[in-house]
Chains A and B, each alone.
Chain A
Amino acid sequence: MANDDDQLISIRLSSDRLEASLVVTPGIDRSYVTSDVVLAKALSQALQPNPRLSKQIEEALKAFAEHDFQGKGEFKFVIATGQPSEEGLDSSFTLEPELQQIYDYSKNRHTDEKDAPKAKAEGEALDHYNRTMLMVVKSGQRIGQVQTATDGSDGIDVCGNTIRAKPGKQNSIKFDAQTIECHDNGSVLSKIAGQLVIEHDGYHISPSLTVDAYVDYSTGNIDFPGNVEVRKGVRDCFQIVSGKSITVSGLVEAAELVATRDIELLGGISGREKGTVHAGRDLIARYLNSSDCRVGRDLIVDKEICDCRVAVTGNVCSPTATIIGGHIASLGSCQIAQIGSEAGTHTVISLGRADTLDGFIGQSLAIIKKLGEKASKAKAQIKELRDSPDASSLKAEMMTSLQFEASEAEAKIMPLKEALRATMKLIDSKCSPVLNVQTMLCHDTEIRAGGFKAVLRESIKGPLTVRIDDIGELVLHDQTSGSVLPLKNFAKMSPDETSYNRSDMPSELRKSA
C-alpha cells in the first residue's frame, strides 16, 4: 500500500526549473503525506534543503489537510522558487526628447500625421509655418545619451544551479568625431552649430543645410546657424533665417529672407509687396520684384528691380539691370543700365543715402533732443529752487530728485552720441553719391542727393553720370560728348525734405555730417 501511495506523490519541476511544486493525486492515503516524505521527494529531485523549503513544505501540508480531492481533484502547491536571470541590454543611443519628436515627425510625415507637433492648448491654432523638419542644434548642445551594453545578472534555479544571464550586444553607434563629442558618462554633445543628420545609423552635424525641394509646409520655416541652400523656391509667407548665407535656386515668393552674410537669389523674388530680403553683406539676384530689401554691402542684380524699396549700404553694381518704380537708396555708387520706363514710371533713386542708417540717425537725433530738453528743464528747476530763500527739507529732496533726473538724461545721451559718431564715420567712409546709367535715364525719375530732389522732365540717353560737383550742385556728365551740365537743365529741382535735419545734429557731430 505504501508503495502505491508513493507513486501518488511527486515533486514536479517547471521546464525552466524556476518552480518546484508538490503534487498529490487523488486516492492516496492522507496519512502517508508527511513532511519527511515530501522532503525526501524534494531531495530526490535535487532541491536544496533550507529553512525556506521546510517552511514551504509545512505550508503545503496545511493546505493539503484542507484539500478536497472530490471537489478539486489533484493537489498542487509550490514549495520552491528560483531567481530568473536578468538579460543584459544592448547598447543604444537616445535622442533628446525635442529632437526625437522632430525626427519622428519628419520620418512619418508622409504616412502618419499623429506624430506631428500638437497645438499647446485646446482650441489653439497649430502654426504650420513653424513645424520644422530639421533637427537644428547649437554648438555645445546636448543631443542625447548613449546607453552602453549591460551584462545582466545571473539567476538561480530551484536546485541551486546558476542560470547564466545573456549579455547585451555592443551595437556600433557611429558619431562623427569632427562634429560630435561623446563624454565618458554617455552624454553626447554637438561640437558645432548645424543640422543633426542621421544616415546609415551614423550621426553627424552638417554646418550647412540643403533643402532639395521648396521651402513650404513640408519644411516649415527655417532658422539655421549656417549656410542655407534651397534647390527649388520659397513659397508665400515662409521664412528663412541664416547665420551665414542663403542661396535659392528657384523663385522666392512673398517670403522673408534674413542672412547675416550674402543672399543669392538665382531665380529672383516676386514679393507681391510682402516679400522682404535682409542681407548682412551682398544681395545677388536675377531680379527683384515688389519687395523690401536691405543690403549691408553691395546689390548685384542681373535683370530688373521693379517696384522695390531697397536700402543699400554699399554700392549698387547692376550694369545690366533696369530699375522700374519703387525707391532705391544707395550709400555708395550706383551703376545701372536703365532707370524708369519710357512710358513714364515714377522711380526714386537716393544717392549717398542709406535709408536704414538715415532712419537710425533721425530717431537718435529725436531722442537726443528730447533727453536734452528733459535735462535742461530739470536744471532750470534746480536753479529756480536754489534761488528761492526757502530752505525746507522738501526743497532739498526735490533738488536731489531733479539732479538725478538731469544726470540720468545726460547719461543716456552719451551712448547715443557714440553710436551716431560711429554711424557718421561709416557714412563718411562709404558715401559716394554717384549714379552711372548705361542706356537710359527716363523721365519721371526722381534723384535725391546732396539735399536736393530732381525729377527728370525728359529722358536722357546714356552712358551718363550724375554726381555732386565741387560747389555741391547736382551735375550730369554725358560720357559720349564729355559735356558736364547742371542737372537742373533737365529736371525740376526742389529741396529734399526726406533728408534728416542736419541742424538738429549735436555740434560735435555736425562736421562729419
Chain B
Amino acid sequence: MKIMLVDDSKTMRSIQKSVLGQLGYSEIEEACDGQDALSKVGAFQPDLLLVDWNMPNMDGITFVKHYRQTNKTTPIIMVTTESEKSRVIEAIKAGVNNYVVKPFTPDALSQRITETLTKKAA
C-alpha cells in the first residue's frame, strides 16, 4: 500500500508517518504542497492520499480538483483544521473521500484510513 502525505508542516507529516508506521504502512511519499504533490503522483502512483487544506503555492482543495481530472478512483482523505460544515461539503464535492479534523488521535486517523480503504474495496 503506497500512501502520499501532502502537508506543508514537516511536524504534521512526521506525526502522520508515525501513525501510519504503527498501522504497518511503510511505503510513504511526502509532498510539501499541492504543486509538489502533483509533480510526484505520476511517478509514485499512490493508493491513498492524506491531504492538508491550507498550504502555500497550491492548497489542498485545488490539488484535489486537479488530481481528480485524471484520477477518479484513488481515495483521498483531507486532514485539516477546517472543521466547518461548508468546508467539508466543499471538499467532498471536489472529490475527497473522507475527512479528518485536526487535532486527531492516532485511533481516529487509523479508523478513517480503514473506513476509506474498506469502502474502496467494496
Contact = CB atoms under 8 A, between A and B. Distances in A.
Interface of A: 236, 251, 253-254, 267-268, 270, 272, 286-287, 289-290, 303-304, 306-307, 322, 324-326, 337-338, 341-345, 440
Interface in B22-72: 32, 54-57, 59
B15 A253 contact: no
Contacts of A307: 9-11
Contacts of B57: 253
A322 B105 CA distance: 13
B103 A270 contact: no
A289 B9 contact: yes
Contacts of B54: 251, 267-268, 270, 286-287, 289
Interface in B1-32: 8-12, 14-15, 18-19, 32
A344 B8 contact: no
12 contacts: A251-B56, A253-B56, A253-B57, A254-B56, A287-B81, A304-B81, A307-B9, A322-B103, A338-B103, A343-B15, A343-B106, A440-B103
A322 B56 CA distance: 20
B102 interface: yes
Contacts of A286: 54
B53 to A, nearest CB: 10
What DSSP secondary structure best describes chain A's contact surface? Answer: strand
Contacts of B10: 290, 307
A322 B102 CA distance: 8
The contact size tier of chain B is 20 to 34
Contacts of A342: 103, 105-106
Contacts of A236: 56
Interface in B58-100: 59, 81-82
Q: 5 closest A-B pairs (Cβ-Cβ)?
A: A303-B81, A325-B11, A253-B56, A322-B103, A343-B15
B55 to A, nearest CB: 6
Residue with the highest number of chain A CB atoms closer than 10 Å, among B15, B32, B82, B106 = B15
Given A253-B56, A290-B10, A345-B11, A304 B102 contact: yes
B106 A306 contact: no
A290 B102 contact: no
Nearest to B105: A342
Contacts of A325: 9, 11
A237 to B, nearest CB: 12
A304 B106 CA distance: 18
Given A253-B56, A254-B56, A270-B54, A289 B8 contact: yes
A343 B16 CA distance: 8
Residue with the highest number of chain B CB atoms closer than 10 Å, among A251, A270, A303 = A270
Contacts of B55: 270
B6 to A, nearest CB: 13
Contacts of A326: 11
A117 B106 CA distance: 55
Nearest to B18: A343
Contacts of B103: 304, 322, 324, 337-338, 341-342, 440
Nearest to B9: A306
Contact of A270 (B8, B15, B19): B8
Contacts of A337: 103
B11 A324 contact: yes
A230 to B, nearest CB: 15
Given A272-B32, A324-B15, 9 more contacts: A267-B54, A270-B55, A287-B54, A303-B81, A306-B11, A307-B11, A326-B11, A343-B18, A345-B11
